[in-house]
Homo-oligomer: A and B are copies of this chain.
């Protein structure tokens, strides 16, 4: 039986924009494992309560339940060792975790300023009150005020990508000569604005831009073909 993955969806169930869910989907594709995704909305916490998590992705593999994107990557690596390694080999896992931490605490929090209102626009109407209340509490301001004047915040955001940019100026992929989970972490983040926003976060002459183009070609254009709204 194919695995199943609870995957954040918009009002249109085909619209899937969660950076953390994209990490899991690219990891499954890298391992060549089929998955059936189950559209999930922010307020359907009861649906995944059995997992112990209130957030997606949640992976189901037979009788196993694995929440959290990093835990999913490690699970897939350990449970399917004969498939291509997500870390290029055992030694890649620990330093990739640093990149994962950087994406969680620098890249995604920096990016959300540019996509927050778009998330609100595309989510299921039943999620809107929850989304507005929880995010306005988290950011201490209204959604509208938080996303105001994105151009003003763009230079600092682009500056925060410097470690990514200098790495990709030196090697074709974050994982080295071939893409692996290090790349899917960051590609997942870029799928977020890609699926729901028209705002251009990086410029065509940025080494990150060319890397993203290469990554969007992976797995028969899996990232590129994702529905956008």
Q: Decide: B89 and A182 in contact? CB cutoff 8 A.
A: no
Digitize A161-180: 1 where CB-to-B-CB distance is under 8 Å, 0 elsewhere. 01110110011011111000
For chain A, residues 57 to 107, give those with C-beta under 8 angstroms from any C-beta of chain B.
85, 87-99, 101-102, 104-106
Majority SS of interface residues in chain A?
Answer: helix
Assuming A91-B89, A91-B91, A95-B182, is B176 touching A106 (CB within 8 A)? no
B99 touches A88 (CB 8 A): no
Quickly give the copy total for this chain: 2
Do residues B90 and A91 form an inter-chain contact, with CB atoms below 8 A? Answer: yes
Q: Cα distance A46–B106 when bound, in Å?
A: 41
**Contacts A92-B91, A163-B106, A176-B93; is A99 near B98 (CB within 8 Å)?**
yes
B98 touches A163 (CB 8 A): yes
The residue from B91, B97, B163 contacting A85, defined by CB atoms under 8 A apart: B91
The residue that A102 contacts in the complex, of B90, B93, B102, with Cβ under 8 A, is: B102
Query: Taking A92-B94, A99-B95, A182-B95 as contacts, is the C-beta distance between A104 and B174 under 8 angstroms?
Result: no
Q: Is A106 in contact with B162, judged by CB distance below 8 angstroms?
A: yes
Q: A89-B89, A90-B89, A104-B166 are in contact. Are A98 and B95 (CB under 8 A)?
A: yes
Give the residue of B95, B97, B163 whose beta carbon is less than 8 angstroms from that of A170.
Answer: B97
Q: Which B residues touch A91, using CB under 8 A?
A: 85, 87-92, 176
Pick from B97, B99, B170: contact of A171, CB below 8 A: B97
Q: Are A182 and B87 in contact (CB under 8 A)?
A: no
Q: Which residues of B contact A167 (CB under 8 A)?
A: 97-98, 101
